[in-house]
Structure 1
């Protein structure tokens, strides 16, 4: 039974069988063809037997070896590399059809690869998968259908019978920002170079002057000593940044964060941005914390910067679940007041579609801004932006553009009105969320507001 389960018929066999049937029909009209057709039929049966022996002959090692290489965890919203290694252990060239059983969450039926391997040849097939939901993904088997040079039968080999992989928030994006921050190349991903307006008065060291340094910090005595020994070179006094400031990401898991963009919900964009921002804050010697909320308070991770704290943040964000119910800002204010006693930077990831929706929550936002530095981050409606950029050709499109302009204007009004109460804001497209959030954090830090 195991033999028959792995035996399949190739397309070439069906074509050959159809040709024989047509020849038998022709022999009925032209009897002199019958002996030739009978010989061809016998040869056809013998070739099937030879092909079956080539593919299924007993050997110590299987004719084909395959192995799938998957990361221990996948990064949500990113292209994750998957590699399938193949080796032909047959003594003849083999044509392979590889079908990888990827998790059902991807809803893809096109993961089919073809390869032609010489005897003892190895090959690696690489492709990418982009998950759009956090959670556990179950990979099935790697199915390899093998054809001999005759190409009449197929033998199926199955490898990697099931593997469970967790999809975490975008740790690949976090590593990218971490690497660029360490090499001062954050501008490559849209992060601006922020000129520091002031500095703390905690002296750190005397170092050579660099472009952009405050000329008021030039140390003339050190400069003169350096000029006497090594030529003219300006020296400045360097001061330490203020450190260990609490930075909290407040993530709204309510109904307004369910809207999709490029496969991901706004909530997942906020979770990915929170992961990157927390890592940057820890690199800047600040303390990072997380608070999630919807119709009730979810989880609170106090701001900290001890070893292993980034891993705790990653695990907390990975396990976030929600039913996208109506958000309760009163519970949010009560939780912040009870658990966050020190003045902190609060980055509130939420969404307001209309100015009336913002007005309902404004009293709680003003109370939060009274005790903390509050930064409200909400999203542009990218579909409306695309609609406004298209010319109107009929009355219906004029009506739709008018409504779109009204909603877009209200978004800008929300930014203006929150600013009147001293509340910092970011209105951003989902794809620019991470860069804009990091930019704003660095700007607030450069201005000495945290």
Structure 2
């Protein structure tokens, strides 16, 4: 009996096929039943039977006046690649070549994690077409499959609904938000740390001579062109094109601590977005970029290559990375890096600074790596910890929390100083400034000719 009730209930859901009564039919039947109960004593059995037959014929007529399933054609247009958290338009095209109008209800079979503004409803007149458009966005990266699109439709009376599931299979890749990378390509100046100040990048490398220009504060005095200065009675300096073909290796930590939730996503999400922005900047400048992702073991390694086409190679390799439940094994990652990266390179490690500072074994490998490579650890500030450390000590509990937070900050500061004395730099930035800080450090390193 329970199974029968369950099957009956499922008829009201969006299923592959079948015909279901609408609430309008149920309400009409209830009204007819109440009417017959109230006045049944004054009616003959023949009249009651005729009224029920007429009601049944009316409902059958309504079913007859709705289009046949084979007459309804449905197609969907959806992006095959979407950026996380960005709105995209999806269009559903419904064609009704039949001689009957129909009221359509559409529910797309997109993943449950996507934004789902369903059902979509509209009237599709006879021998016409209707285009449904809805906005959706994906909050979680990954590879998704869409198999079906569910449709219900009825005639204008709306007593019965026919339902069907269209096999419209699609594959969707949800990649990291590329807004930062696009913004860099549009205006690299925004990625200098001096926000709000339009600072012209001073090229101080030892590349080929480019031009002579006016000296500005911050230029290398050694590049002053004294002959042109005397001739023009204005301090002039030589400008050189930076050397291209440098190597940048991006390391992405996928360990447990990278799953800490932030305002918009988690640490891994923001690290991926920042890593792709650095890769965009380096490839745009003609440098070689390699990427290594790891947690307990090395998960992904993309060998160094240059050219903007390499950005797609990187993107397709890392877009589905997830946070692992295990702790990060920095030593294994650095050991692997020593085997695969022989060229002098700028190493950018996106990780949790606090976790990294407790890894004594990593320091051994980093000392060896530092002999050949430049190293920067870049992480996201713990805003919750900073907030607690700045709170007023209005009661004992808050005072204890503030004391613990301040102790952690002091420990972190001392450890960072200790590592920096070994030439291993560490930077923490707010989540919205992570890409800015990473790209600024890269630009500064290249312009100073440190590689």
TM over 0.5: yes
Task: Report 1:360-399 matches (<5 A).
Answer: 361-385=362-386, 395-399=396-400
* In 2: Cα distance, 1:370 partner to 1:79 partner: 42
Partner-residue secondary structure (3-state), 1:426: strand
* In 2: Cα distance, 1:19 partner to 1:81 partner: 45
With over 3 angstroms needed to count, the CA separation of the structure-2 counterparts of 1:342 and 1:27, relative to structure 1, is same
With over 3 angstroms needed to count, the CA separation of the structure-2 counterparts of 1:211 and 1:84, relative to structure 1, is farther
* In 2: Cα distance, 1:287 partner to 1:121 partner: 52
* In 2: Cα distance, 1:96 partner to 1:85 partner: 12
Partner-residue secondary structure (3-state), 1:140: strand
Tell me if the contact between 1:380 and 1:427 (Cα under 8 Å) persists in the aligned partners.
yes
Which residue of the partner structure matches residue 62 of structure 1? 71
* In 1: Cα distance, 2:416 partner to 2:122 partner: 56
Which residue of the partner structure matches residue 82 of structure 2? 74
Give 1:283 deviation, angstroms.
Answer: 0.4
1:381-436 CA distances to partner (integer Å, 9 max, x unpaired)?
34445666777776545544443444445444444443333322221344432232
Which residue of the partner structure matches residue 10 of structure 2? none
Give 1:305 deviation, angstroms.
Answer: 1.0
Which residue of the partner structure matches residue 173 of structure 1? 179
Identify unmatched segments of 5+ residues in structure 1.
228-232
Q: In the alignment, is residue 196 of structure 1 matched against residue 201 of structure 2?
A: yes
Tell me if the contact between 2:257 and 2:355 (Cα under 8 Å) persists in the aligned partners.
no
With over 3 angstroms needed to count, the CA separation of the structure-2 counterparts of 1:186 and 1:24, relative to structure 1, is farther
* In 1: Cα distance, 2:205 partner to 2:116 partner: 59
With over 3 angstroms needed to count, the CA separation of the structure-2 counterparts of 1:272 and 1:86, relative to structure 1, is same
With over 3 angstroms needed to count, the CA separation of the structure-2 counterparts of 1:213 and 1:365, relative to structure 1, is closer
1:143-196 CA distances to partner (integer Å, 9 max, x unpaired)?
1211322111112243343323233344x33652354247x66589x7985543
1:212-261 CA distances to partner (integer Å, 9 max, x unpaired)?
89597788999999x9xxxxx99975421121111000122333323343
Give the TM-score, by structure 1 length: 0.79
* In 1: Cα distance, 2:280 partner to 2:22 partner: 54
With over 3 angstroms needed to count, the CA separation of the structure-2 counterparts of 1:100 and 1:210, relative to structure 1, is farther
Partner residue of 1:114 out of 121, 124, 146: 121
Identify unmatched segments of 5+ residues in structure 2.
1-14
* In 2: Cα distance, 1:253 partner to 1:197 partner: 36
* In 2: Cα distance, 1:262 partner to 1:412 partner: 25
Tell me if the contact between 1:70 and 1:82 (Cα under 8 Å) persists in the aligned partners.
yes
* In 1: Cα distance, 2:201 partner to 2:304 partner: 25
Q: In the alignment, is residue 280 of structure 1 matched against residue 281 of structure 2?
A: yes
Which residue of the partner structure matches residue 21 of structure 2? 9
Q: In the alignment, is residue 51 of structure 1 matched against residue 57 of structure 2?
A: no
Task: Report 1:340-355 matches (<5 A).
Answer: 340-353=341-354
Task: Report 1:92-103 matches (<5 A).
Answer: 93-103=101-111
Which residue of the partner structure matches residue 230 of structure 1? none
Give 1:96 deviation, angstroms.
Answer: 2.4
CA RMSD of aligned residues (A): 4.2
Task: Report 1:242-281 matches (<5 A).
Answer: 242-261=243-262, 264-281=265-282
Aligned length, in residue pairs: 433
Partner-residue secondary structure (3-state), 1:376: strand
* In 1: Cα distance, 2:437 partner to 2:332 partner: 28
* In 2: Cα distance, 1:42 partner to 1:234 partner: 103
Tell me if the contact between 2:76 and 2:93 (Cα under 8 Å) persists in the aligned partners.
no
Partner residue of 2:141 out of 133, 147, 150: 133
Tell me if the contact between 2:192 and 2:436 (Cα under 8 Å) persists in the aligned partners.
no
* In 2: Cα distance, 1:270 partner to 1:366 partner: 24
Partner residue of 2:32 out of 4, 15, 20: 20
